Protein backbone atom coordinates (compact mmCIF):
# COMPACT_ATOMS: atom_id res chain seq x y z
CA UNK A 1 0.00 0.00 0.00
CA UNK A 2 1.21 3.50 -0.87
CA UNK A 3 -0.20 6.82 0.22
CA UNK A 4 0.39 10.49 -0.51
CA UNK A 5 1.82 12.29 2.52
CA UNK A 6 1.77 16.05 3.06
CA UNK A 7 3.47 18.18 5.69
CA UNK A 8 1.88 21.63 5.52
CA UNK A 9 3.82 24.50 7.03
CA UNK A 10 3.40 28.23 7.02
CA UNK A 11 6.09 28.56 4.36
CA UNK A 12 5.93 25.41 2.26
CA UNK A 13 4.07 22.16 1.67
CA UNK A 14 6.39 19.16 1.68
CA UNK A 15 5.09 16.00 0.08
CA UNK A 16 6.06 12.44 -0.78
CA UNK A 17 4.69 9.05 -1.73
CA UNK A 18 5.23 6.62 1.16
CA UNK A 19 4.72 2.90 1.65
CA UNK A 20 4.08 0.92 4.83
CA UNK A 21 7.82 0.50 5.40
CA UNK A 22 8.08 4.32 5.41
CA UNK A 23 10.08 4.38 2.19
CA UNK A 24 9.64 7.82 0.61
CA UNK A 25 9.66 8.53 -3.13
CA UNK A 26 8.72 11.43 -5.39
CA UNK A 27 9.43 13.92 -2.62
CA UNK A 28 9.39 17.66 -3.05
CA UNK A 29 8.09 20.96 -1.73
CA UNK A 30 6.06 23.91 -3.02
CA UNK A 31 5.22 27.28 -1.42
CA UNK A 32 2.14 27.24 0.80
CA UNK A 33 -0.68 29.32 -0.74
CA UNK A 34 -1.56 32.24 1.50
CA UNK A 35 -4.62 33.66 -0.26
CA UNK A 36 -7.71 31.43 -0.03
CA UNK A 37 -8.74 28.01 1.17
CA UNK A 38 -9.65 27.14 -2.41
CA UNK A 39 -6.10 27.86 -3.55
CA UNK A 40 -4.75 25.68 -0.76
CA UNK A 41 -7.00 22.77 -1.76
CA UNK A 42 -6.13 23.26 -5.42
CA UNK A 43 -2.40 23.19 -4.61
CA UNK A 44 -2.77 19.91 -2.73
CA UNK A 45 -4.80 18.39 -5.56
CA UNK A 46 -2.19 19.37 -8.16
CA UNK A 47 0.43 17.49 -6.15
CA UNK A 48 -1.86 14.51 -5.59
CA UNK A 49 -3.22 14.13 -9.13
CA UNK A 50 -0.09 12.65 -10.81
CA UNK A 51 -0.03 9.90 -8.16
CA UNK A 52 -3.74 9.15 -7.74
CA UNK A 53 -3.49 5.80 -9.57
CA UNK A 54 -0.69 4.48 -7.34
CA UNK A 55 -1.84 5.65 -3.89
CA UNK A 56 -4.85 4.66 -1.81
CA UNK A 57 -5.26 7.82 0.23
CA UNK A 58 -3.82 10.97 1.78
CA UNK A 59 -2.16 11.56 5.15
CA UNK A 60 -1.60 15.20 6.08
CA UNK A 61 0.19 16.86 8.99
CA UNK A 62 -0.66 20.52 9.42
CA UNK A 63 -0.67 23.25 12.07
CA UNK A 64 -3.76 24.12 14.06
CA UNK A 65 -6.16 22.46 16.45
CA UNK A 66 -6.79 19.22 14.60
CA UNK A 67 -9.61 16.85 15.52
CA UNK A 68 -8.08 13.68 14.05
CA UNK A 69 -11.42 11.86 14.38
CA UNK A 70 -13.54 14.27 12.33
CA UNK A 71 -10.99 16.08 10.16
CA UNK A 72 -11.99 19.50 11.46
CA UNK A 73 -9.20 22.06 11.87
CA UNK A 74 -9.20 25.49 13.49
CA UNK A 75 -6.64 28.11 14.44
CA UNK A 76 -4.24 27.28 11.65
CA UNK A 77 -1.93 30.20 12.35
CA UNK A 78 -0.45 31.32 9.03
CA UNK A 79 -2.88 29.06 7.17
CA UNK A 80 -6.37 29.81 6.04
CA UNK A 81 -8.84 28.26 8.47
CA UNK A 82 -9.15 30.35 11.61
CA UNK A 83 -12.64 29.02 12.24
CA UNK A 84 -13.45 25.32 12.41
CA UNK A 85 -13.13 23.97 8.86
CA UNK A 86 -13.76 20.39 7.68
CA UNK A 87 -10.38 20.19 5.93
CA UNK A 88 -10.46 16.39 5.87
CA UNK A 89 -13.88 16.24 4.24
CA UNK A 90 -13.01 18.95 1.70
CA UNK A 91 -9.83 17.14 0.68
CA UNK A 92 -11.55 13.76 0.50
CA UNK A 93 -14.24 15.20 -1.78
CA UNK A 94 -11.75 16.99 -4.01
CA UNK A 95 -9.32 14.08 -4.34
CA UNK A 96 -11.81 11.20 -4.13
CA UNK A 97 -9.89 9.19 -1.54
CA UNK A 98 -9.65 8.61 2.23
CA UNK A 99 -7.90 11.40 4.18
CA UNK A 100 -6.31 11.28 7.62
CA UNK A 101 -5.25 14.53 9.33
CA UNK A 102 -2.98 15.12 12.32
CA UNK A 103 -1.48 18.17 13.98
CA UNK A 104 2.12 18.55 12.80
CA UNK A 105 3.74 18.62 16.23
CA UNK A 106 1.72 15.64 17.43
CA UNK A 107 2.62 13.73 14.24
CA UNK A 108 6.30 14.34 14.91
CA UNK A 109 5.90 13.19 18.52
CA UNK A 110 4.19 9.99 17.35
CA UNK A 111 7.07 9.23 14.98
CA UNK A 112 9.76 9.94 17.56
CA UNK A 113 7.99 7.94 20.27
CA UNK A 114 7.46 4.90 18.05
CA UNK A 115 10.87 4.56 16.44
CA UNK A 116 12.87 7.70 17.01
CA UNK A 117 14.61 9.83 19.60
CA UNK A 118 11.85 9.38 22.22
CA UNK A 119 11.48 5.62 21.92
CA UNK A 120 10.81 4.02 25.34
CA UNK A 121 10.45 7.43 27.03
CA UNK A 122 7.86 7.84 29.75
CA UNK A 123 7.60 11.65 29.77
CA UNK A 124 9.06 13.61 26.86
CA UNK A 125 8.33 16.33 24.34
CA UNK A 126 8.94 17.34 20.76
CA UNK A 127 9.76 20.98 19.99
CA UNK A 128 9.44 21.85 16.30
CA UNK A 129 11.14 25.09 15.26
CA UNK A 130 9.74 26.40 12.00
CA UNK A 131 7.67 29.33 10.72
CA UNK A 132 5.96 29.03 14.10
CA UNK A 133 6.60 26.60 16.95
CA UNK A 134 4.98 23.17 16.93
CA UNK A 135 4.95 20.68 19.72
CA UNK A 136 3.93 17.32 21.03
CA UNK A 137 3.83 16.02 24.59
CA UNK A 138 4.32 12.44 25.75
CA UNK A 139 3.06 11.55 29.24
CA UNK A 140 3.20 8.05 30.70
CA UNK A 141 4.32 6.78 27.32
CA UNK A 142 1.27 8.17 25.49
CA UNK A 143 0.67 11.14 23.20
CA UNK A 144 -1.34 13.85 24.98
CA UNK A 145 -4.02 15.40 22.76
CA UNK A 146 -6.11 17.33 25.28
CA UNK A 147 -9.89 17.53 25.45
CA UNK A 148 -9.88 20.28 22.79
CA UNK A 149 -6.90 18.85 20.85
CA UNK A 150 -4.71 21.79 21.91
CA UNK A 151 -2.16 20.04 24.14
CA UNK A 152 1.35 20.87 23.01
CA UNK A 153 0.41 24.13 21.26
CA UNK A 154 3.55 25.93 22.42
CA UNK A 155 3.02 28.79 19.96
CA UNK A 156 0.35 30.25 22.27
CA UNK A 157 2.50 30.20 25.41
CA UNK A 158 3.07 33.74 26.69
CA UNK A 159 6.74 34.61 27.14
CA UNK A 160 6.38 37.90 29.04
CA UNK A 161 3.77 38.39 31.73
CA UNK A 162 4.56 42.12 31.84
CA UNK A 163 3.56 42.53 28.18
CA UNK A 164 0.45 40.38 27.91
CA UNK A 165 -1.13 42.58 25.24
CA UNK A 166 1.96 42.73 23.03
CA UNK A 167 1.28 40.59 19.92
CA UNK A 168 4.84 39.28 19.69
CA UNK A 169 5.29 38.09 23.28
CA UNK A 170 4.51 34.44 22.65
CA UNK A 171 6.52 31.40 21.75
CA UNK A 172 5.45 31.47 18.10
CA UNK A 173 7.12 34.86 17.69
CA UNK A 174 10.06 34.45 20.05
CA UNK A 175 11.19 30.86 19.43
CA UNK A 176 10.59 30.34 15.71
CA UNK A 177 12.95 30.34 12.75
CA UNK A 178 11.00 33.37 11.55
CA UNK A 179 12.02 35.28 14.66
CA UNK A 180 15.64 34.10 14.45
CA UNK A 181 15.83 35.58 10.96
CA UNK A 182 14.00 38.73 12.08
CA UNK A 183 16.56 39.32 14.81
CA UNK A 184 19.41 38.69 12.38
CA UNK A 185 18.07 41.18 9.84
CA UNK A 186 17.77 43.79 12.59
CA UNK A 187 21.29 43.09 13.86
CA UNK A 188 22.70 43.44 10.35
CA UNK A 189 20.55 46.51 9.61
CA UNK A 190 18.95 44.71 6.67
CA UNK A 191 15.47 45.55 5.33
CA UNK A 192 12.68 43.60 7.01
CA UNK A 193 11.93 41.85 3.71
CA UNK A 194 15.55 41.08 2.82
CA UNK A 195 15.79 37.54 1.36
CA UNK A 196 17.07 35.21 4.07
CA UNK A 197 16.50 31.63 5.17
CA UNK A 198 17.84 29.22 7.76
CA UNK A 199 20.51 27.85 5.46
CA UNK A 200 22.05 31.25 4.77
CA UNK A 201 21.87 32.23 8.45
CA UNK A 202 23.68 29.09 9.56
CA UNK A 203 26.22 29.48 6.77
CA UNK A 204 27.14 32.77 8.42
CA UNK A 205 27.03 31.32 11.94
CA UNK A 206 29.12 28.28 11.01
CA UNK A 207 31.65 30.62 9.39
CA UNK A 208 31.99 32.36 12.75
CA UNK A 209 30.35 35.66 11.86
CA UNK A 210 30.08 37.58 15.17
CA UNK A 211 26.62 39.04 14.44
CA UNK A 212 25.17 35.64 13.54
CA UNK A 213 26.65 34.00 16.63
CA UNK A 214 25.33 36.82 18.84
CA UNK A 215 21.80 36.37 17.45
CA UNK A 216 22.05 32.59 17.76
CA UNK A 217 22.98 32.86 21.45
CA UNK A 218 20.04 35.19 22.07
CA UNK A 219 17.67 32.87 20.22
CA UNK A 220 18.89 29.72 21.97
CA UNK A 221 18.49 31.42 25.35
CA UNK A 222 14.83 32.14 24.50
CA UNK A 223 14.22 28.53 23.45
CA UNK A 224 16.17 27.14 26.42
CA UNK A 225 13.96 29.04 28.87
CA UNK A 226 10.89 27.37 27.38
CA UNK A 227 12.53 23.94 27.52
CA UNK A 228 13.33 24.67 31.16
CA UNK A 229 9.62 25.42 31.70
CA UNK A 230 8.67 22.12 30.04
CA UNK A 231 11.15 20.33 32.27
CA UNK A 232 9.68 21.82 35.43
CA UNK A 233 6.03 21.39 34.41
CA UNK A 234 6.19 17.86 32.99
CA UNK A 235 9.43 16.35 34.33
CA UNK A 236 10.37 15.34 30.81
CA UNK A 237 13.43 13.17 30.32
CA UNK A 238 14.06 14.26 26.74
CA UNK A 239 13.08 17.10 24.44
CA UNK A 240 13.55 16.31 20.75
CA UNK A 241 14.18 19.31 18.50
CA UNK A 242 12.70 19.22 15.00
CA UNK A 243 12.20 21.49 12.04
CA UNK A 244 14.54 22.37 9.20
CA UNK A 245 17.20 24.07 11.33
CA UNK A 246 17.38 21.06 13.69
CA UNK A 247 19.77 19.53 11.13
CA UNK A 248 22.35 22.12 12.16
CA UNK A 249 24.77 20.71 14.78
CA UNK A 250 25.57 24.27 15.86
CA UNK A 251 21.94 24.83 16.88
CA UNK A 252 21.89 21.79 19.17
CA UNK A 253 25.31 22.66 20.60
CA UNK A 254 24.24 26.26 21.31
CA UNK A 255 20.87 25.21 22.71
CA UNK A 256 22.41 22.73 25.15
CA UNK A 257 24.90 25.36 26.26
CA UNK A 258 22.11 27.89 26.85
CA UNK A 259 20.01 25.34 28.76
CA UNK A 260 22.88 24.30 31.03
CA UNK A 261 23.70 27.97 31.54
CA UNK A 262 20.25 28.57 33.03
CA UNK A 263 21.05 26.16 35.84
CA UNK A 264 24.61 27.37 36.26
CA UNK A 265 23.47 30.98 36.63
CA UNK A 266 21.36 30.02 39.67
CA UNK A 267 23.70 27.48 41.20
CA UNK A 268 23.46 27.47 44.96
CA UNK A 269 19.99 28.93 45.13
CA UNK A 270 17.94 26.71 47.42
CA UNK A 271 14.79 26.62 45.31
CA UNK A 272 16.76 25.19 42.39
CA UNK A 273 17.92 22.19 44.40
CA UNK A 274 16.54 18.94 43.04
CA UNK A 275 15.01 20.40 39.89
CA UNK A 276 15.37 17.93 37.03
CA UNK A 277 17.27 18.46 33.79
CA UNK A 278 16.29 16.90 30.50
CA UNK A 279 18.34 15.77 27.53
CA UNK A 280 18.05 17.93 24.43
CA UNK A 281 18.33 15.75 21.33
CA UNK A 282 17.59 16.13 17.61
CA UNK A 283 14.54 14.40 16.19
CA UNK A 284 15.72 11.12 14.69
CA UNK A 285 13.53 11.75 11.66
CA UNK A 286 14.68 15.37 11.47
CA UNK A 287 12.41 17.54 9.33
CA UNK A 288 10.65 14.40 8.01
CA UNK A 289 9.20 13.52 11.43
CA UNK A 290 5.81 15.07 10.63
CA UNK A 291 5.43 12.98 7.48
CA UNK A 292 6.53 9.75 9.14
CA UNK A 293 4.17 10.25 12.07
CA UNK A 294 1.04 11.04 10.07
CA UNK A 295 1.78 8.22 7.60
CA UNK A 296 1.97 5.78 10.51
CA UNK A 297 -1.36 7.11 11.79
CA UNK A 298 -2.94 6.52 8.37
CA UNK A 299 -1.70 2.94 8.08
CA UNK A 300 -2.83 2.18 11.64
CA UNK A 301 -6.30 3.61 10.95
CA UNK A 302 -6.66 1.57 7.76
CA UNK A 303 -5.48 -1.58 9.54
CA UNK A 304 -8.23 -1.17 12.12
CA UNK A 305 -10.83 -0.96 9.34
CA UNK A 306 -9.79 -4.25 7.73
What's the CATH superfamily of 119-283? ATPase, nucleotide binding domain (3.30.420.40)
Residue 78 CA, distance from chain mean position? 13
For the chain, domain boundaries: 2-106+288-305, 119-283
Q: How many other CB atoms are found less than 10 A from the CB of residue 49?
A: 11
pLDDT score of 134: 87
Helix (H, G, I), strand (E, B) or coil at 14: strand
Phi, psi of 124 (to 5 degrees): -160, 175
Residues 6+ apart with CB under 8 A from 158: 164, 169, 170
Helix pair 198-206, 210-234: axis angle to 10 deg = 110
Is-same-fold flag (2-106+288-305; 119-283)? yes
pLDDT in tens, 94-126: 999 999 999 999 999 999 999 999 999 999 999
Helix pair 249-264, 210-234: axis angle to 10 deg = 60
Query: Per DSSP, what are the bridge partners of residue 101?
Result: 60
Provide the residue-wise pLDDT of the chain in tens; the chain has 306 residues.
899 999 998 889 999 999 999 898 899 999 998 888 888 899 999 999 999 999 999 999 998 899 999 999 987 665 655 678 899 999 999 999 999 999 999 999 999 999 999 999 999 999 999 888 989 999 999 999 999 999 998 988 988 888 888 888 889 889 999 999 999 999 999 999 999 999 999 999 999 999 999 999 999 999 999 999 999 999 999 999 998 899 999 999 999 999 999 999 887 787 777 888 999 999 999 888 899 999 999 999 888 776
Whether residue 86 contacts residue 46, with contact meaning beta carbons closer than 8 Å, is answered with: no
pLDDT score of 144: 96
pLDDT score of 274: 80
pLDDT score of 155: 86
Q: How many other CB atoms are found less than 10 A from the CB of residue 300?
A: 12
Query: Per DSSP, what are the bridge partners of residue 135?
Result: 127
Instruction: Give the whole-angstrom CA distance, residue 168 versus residue 172.
Output: 8
Name the residue among 130, 16, 127, 126 with its Cα closest to residue 79: 130
pLDDT score of 286: 85
Whether residue 134 contacts residue 154, with contact meaning beta carbons closer than 8 Å, is answered with: yes
Q: Which fold has domain 2-106+288-305?
A: Nucleotidyltransferase; domain 5 (3.30.420)
pLDDT in tens, 215-241: 999 999 999 999 999 999 999 999 999
pLDDT score of 269: 81
Whether residue 78 contacts residue 63, with contact meaning beta carbons closer than 8 Å, is answered with: yes
pLDDT score of 167: 82
Amino acid sequence: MKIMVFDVGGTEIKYSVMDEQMHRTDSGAVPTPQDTQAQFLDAVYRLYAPHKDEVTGIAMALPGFVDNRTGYVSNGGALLYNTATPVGQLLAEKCGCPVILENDGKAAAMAELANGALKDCCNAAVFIIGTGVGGGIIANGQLVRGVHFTAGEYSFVNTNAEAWDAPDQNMACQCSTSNLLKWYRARKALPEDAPLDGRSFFAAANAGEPEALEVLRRFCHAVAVQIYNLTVLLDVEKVAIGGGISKQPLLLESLRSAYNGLYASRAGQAYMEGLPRCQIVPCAFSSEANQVGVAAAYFEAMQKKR
